[in-house]
Structure 1
């Protein structure tokens, strides 16, 4: 039986779709480690530490999250998976274009670490259109985020963009 899964992503920010995938993964694995990818080349709204804290807030008190851990990493995902003793990577796929990219990544990871499998989970239909980039755009223009992200994420985004806009004016 597969016991430890890694659910990697940038989670900048975590969305309701991410949480839906995470909850589903907890039903399949004894432990799920949400792993925040920190890429110094990409500009993120939130730091790695902020993303980890937001994820922890979003899952706090949820019965399904009792075996969820949250961390961050830089480098090759398969190396981190080995360090965490994970035997499976969980990836969310919303649409065909996601699958094409994720399929290439899964094949690459399999070549680098044949002992680690990748599974693809689709979010509930109501979340298939949500992406972190859409969420950030809506947040930047002070739109209603209540159906896209948890309240803690909405609050953090509004604060972040309010400060950013305040500094530009």
Structure 2
């Protein structure tokens, strides 16, 4: 009898900062694969609040209790990253119709690059659907309470960064 190769999944994103919605998708995605790699992306179109190393450290801290999750940085095409890891699945979260439109287009492009890697979409928990990293940062900049949107330690990180940089709402 031949042993099956471990099923490796990739959950890519900027995670600036990681939210409770991201954590929901990570926990659920980790149940679908033997190994889930959280791919922390550099995204030249965004101006992150946290460096790549800081985001990676936050995610490692927040996922330390999930044994089959690891965190890796990447600065290349998602499909190249997934191929390099031997991944067979890309895990993505959907919050609503806007996410669907974007993911629909990305899936088509990714399949054109490598149709052997499946895209799996998980709907965010209904209570977590409105959460977006950019909104969390905006709320924090204006002095709002973000503790119901991100893990507690991440809220502390965001609040400290806002104080440190003197970010103020415009």
Q: Pick the TM interval, shorter chain.
A: over 0.9
Among 4, 10, 17, the residue aligned to 2:8 = 4
Q: Distance in 2 between matches of 1:20 and 1:46?
A: 21
The Cα of 1:122 is off from its aligned counterpart by: 0.8
Alpha-carbon distance in 1 for matches of 2:57, 2:118: 28
With over 3 angstroms needed to count, the CA separation of the structure-2 counterparts of 1:49 and 1:118, relative to structure 1, is same
Distance of 1:156 and 1:164 partners within structure 2: 12
Q: Where do 1:82-93 residues align within 5 Å? A: 82-93=83-94
The SS at the match of 1:75 is: coil
Structure 1: give runs of 5+ residues left out of the alignment.
none
Q: Distance in 1 between matches of 2:69 and 2:48?
A: 24
Distance 2:45 2:104 in 1: 23
- Structure 1 segment 122-141 matched on structure 2, within 5 A: 122-141=123-142
1:39, distance to aligned residue in structure 2 (A)? 2.1
- Per the normalisation by structure 2, the TM-score is 0.92
Does the alignment pair 1:102 with 2:103? Answer: yes
Counterpart secondary structure, 2:157: helix
Q: Is the 8 A contact 2:141 2:167 kept in 1?
A: no
How many residue pairs match? The answer is 164
Match of 2:30?
26
Structure ranking higher in helix proportion:
1
Render the CA deviation track for 1:20-42: whole Å, top value 9, x for unaligned.
00100111111100001112342
Shift in Å at residue 146 of structure 1?
1.3
CA RMSD of aligned residues (A): 1.5
CA distance in 1, matches of 2:166, 2:19: 23
Q: Match for 1:43 among 23, 41, 47?
A: 47
